[in-house]
Amino acid sequence: MLDNSDLHLLRREGAPLKLTEEQAERRLAIFGILISLFERAYLLVYEESMSKHTRRMWQSWEDYIREWVRRADFRDALPGLLEGEDEEFTRYIRQLTEGGRS
């Protein structure tokens, strides 16, 4: 994020609407990395019935995922980012984007 500060990825409102082609490509690459991390966390940690310890780990990840899902630029990129990803993970992310943006 530090090397890509011009993308304003640490701001809640996201990057300015006008990105150069190169900036848009970098942003998409970073979003792809985030989706990979989120999917890995989902596959390794998420369970329907979680112990207290596992629930605590998952809630930390879920908070971070929700933070990104609140961003319009991230949500707009999701259809392409979720292509070929785990079906359950994709369903989980879509549920967050449809009704879980609190």
Number of residues written out for the chain: 102
Question: What's the average model confidence in pLDDT over 78-101?
Answer: 90
Q: Is residue 77 scored above 80 in pLDDT?
A: yes
Position 11 scores a pLDDT of 76
Q: Is residue 64 scored above 80 in pLDDT?
A: yes
Q: Which residue has the tokens 């970098």?
A: 26
DSSP sequence for 37-73: HHHHHHHHH--SS--HHHHHHHHHHHHHHHHHHT-HH
**Dihedral through CA 10, CA 12, CA 44, CA 53, nearest 10?**
100
Q: Which residue has the tokens 């596959």?
A: 43
Position 83 scores a pLDDT of 96
* pTM reported for the whole predicted model: 0.86
